[in-house]
Structure 1
Amino acid sequence: MIARLDTARINHEPLVTWEPLPKDFQLEDDPVENDGQSLLAGALRESLELSGFIQPQMFIVSNFGLCATIDDRIVVKAPDWLYVPSTNPSELMRRSYTPHAEGEPVAIVMEFLSQIDGSEYSVKRSFPPGKWFFYEQILKVPIYVIFEPESGLLEFYQLQNERYELILPDPDGRHWIAEMNLFLGTWRGEKEGRSGYWLRWWDESGTMLPWAVEQIEQERHRAEQERQRAEQERQQKERLMAYLRSQGIDPDSLPASNE
């Protein structure tokens, strides 16, 4: 009898409803585990902003509560980064986000691994459920990314037949995200004093979306190239003028070019 009851409990299909978080609900104040996580999340958003990708209806945040009500109990998980293609307009600052009730379902969640926690892989069904179970079975997020910043290991999971399947990268080590029309991959370098692996975006042509400091450097490089081109043209014109004068020809007397 006990075995049958345990089996019934395990096979219980949770009742999921989508209700906005009550105003008096006390959210847990979980701090970011280290400053590297906020830098990684900020860098992902920065390049999207500079490229003009982000639109007003989109919702892109980090360490922010995703909500669902499971068997009449509110569950809140705060992934390190998330993307929602379109949300309902809101005059108030959001405290959380409930899919379906406040806009479209979440398209992507990302977790950055630390040595402190291991809940990113938890399939625990009982309250409070594990993150993996919550993203896969409750929110049904199409793409779940787990990134280990120290080693640069990127795990890219896609929801297939209601289960997350590990997707291998393309020959360039990147993953195509059709929902964003962008590639996601890893890159090693330095930003804001942090040296190591980062998550970066590439467009469909394979061009990496730059950060602000990179964009400034690119503009400086283009300006320098233009200055050098103008200087070469000036020097070439001076040589031509000197040559004409050496041949007894006054350059100022020549008819102006139609070009």
Structure 2
Amino acid sequence: MTVLQGHPANALPPITWQKLPADFPLPDEPVESNLQPLLAAALRESLELAGLILESMLIASNFGICATVGDKTIIKAPDWVYVPSVHPLPAGEIRRSYTPHAEGDKPALVMEFISATEGGEYSINPHYPYGKWYFYEQILKIPVYVIFHPQIGVLETHLLEQGKYQQQSPDENGRFWIEALGLFLGVWMGKKAELEGYWLRWWDRSGNLLPWGSELVEQERQRAEQERQRAEQERQRAEQAEQKAGKLAQRLRELGINPEEI
């Protein structure tokens, strides 16, 4: 068990980091819309296809992050969480939750997606069971807290500075630099999984969009079509050259010249 002392000005009871027992009953919070898991999966998908996910990382959605405050176990399940490095599990064991410090690094980034009925993403309730904002800021001390409003396409990024979250301003492209991943995060309007709307996307340092699998398939289809067209144009050029040579040979024969002797 690892014990970390709270800030002197913080009235919190002692915070400890104890891995949950395997039979600990986790809260069963239903996903409020089918868009939330799709948003989370899309963020992971592009990272995975870009080869940016390492075995030592933990990237999960709607997954319990735990801390013990005084004698109470607190569990919050962000819509998306990124932990740079976690301790490997014994063979055959499945990770049901994650306790920072006891099981690896603390999360570098958490995201919450606002649904039609707000779920306390801005709550600073400093008492049990604690608001999400307060839990991420004061208990877990997560460096980056992202809040996304998919219905209206509004993205907020809050950085932990001197113990408090400060809202960041986007760059000239409307994107936010996420240092932990070395990528920009921004809003993209379009269609995925038959849903038209606002999505969160990653861009690299050069401003290149990290594609989804469906986009890579489309890119490959277009490349194959371009190659087919190039081959067809080459075939047509060869056929035209052959026809031209045949006409020239015919003309030479009409003049009494054997083209094979030229």
- 1:143 equivalent in structure 2: 144
Is contact 2:109-2:144 (8 Å) kept? Answer: yes
Q: Identify the residue that residue 6 of structure 2 maps to in structure 1.
A: none
How many angstroms does 1:94 deviate by?
A: 0.7
- What residue number does 1:160 align with? 161
> How far off is 1:45 after superposition?
1.2
Q: CA deviation at 1:222?
A: 0.6
CA contact (8 A) 2:12 2:69 kept: no
Is the alpha carbon distance of 1:11 and 1:49 closer, same or farther for their aligned partners in structure 2, counting shifts above 3 Å? closer
Quick one: which amino acid aligns to residue 193 of structure 2?
Answer: E
- Separation in 2, partners of 1:229, 1:160: 56
The alpha-carbon deviation at position 245 of structure 1 amounts to 4.1
Which one has the largest radius of gyration? 2
The amino acid of 1:212's aligned partner reads G
The alignment partner of 1:101 has SS state of: coil
Q: Report the residue type matching 2:28 in the other structure.
A: D
**SS of equivalent residue, structure 2 residue 190:** strand
Write the distance in 2 (CA, Å) between the matches of 1:232 and 1:158: 55
> Which residue in the other structure is 1:39 paired with?
38
* 1:225–1:150 distance in 2 versus 1, CA, 3 Å: same
Which residues in structure 2 correspond to 1:212-251 (within 5 Å)? 212-248=213-249
Q: CA deviation at 1:18?
A: 1.1
Deviations 1:129-155 (A, max 9, x none): 111011011111111000011000101
The residue aligned with 2:96 is 95
TM-score, structure 1 as length reference: 0.88
> How many residues matched?
241
1:58 alignment counterpart: 57
- Return the offset for 1:217: 0.6
- What does residue range 188-199 of structure 1 map to in structure 2 within 5 Å? 188-199=189-200
Q: Is the 8 A contact 2:58 2:84 kept in 1?
A: yes
In structure 1, how many angstroms separate the alpha carbons of the residues matched to 2:190 and 2:136?
31
* 2:79 equivalent in structure 1: 80
**1:167-186 equivalence runs, <5 A:** 167-186=168-187
Structure 1 match to 2:15? 16
Amino acid at match of 1:106: P
1:221-248 deviation digits (Å, cap 9, x = unpaired): 0111111112222222333333344444
C-alpha RMSD of matched pairs (Å): 1.7
Q: CA deviation at 1:11?
A: 4.8
- CA distance in 1 between partners of 2:37 and 2:10 (Å): 38
The C-alpha deviation readout for 1:23-58, integer Å capped at 9, x for no partner, is: 232111111111111111111111112222111111
Partner residue, 1:26? 25
Return 5+ residue gaps in structure 1 as ranges. 1-9, 254-259
Q: Give CA deviations for 1:77-133 in whole Å, capped at 9, x if unaligned.
A: 000010111111113111100111111110110000123234111111111111101
SS at match of 2:121: helix
SS in 2 for 1:49: helix
What percentage of aligned pairs have identical amino acids?
A: 56
Corresponding residue of 2:210: 209
When structure 1 is superposed on structure 2, of 175-184 and 13-22 the one drifting more is 13-22
Residue in structure 1 matched with residue 135 of structure 2 by the alignment: 134
Q: How far apart are the structure 2 equivalents of 1:231 and 1:117?
A: 56
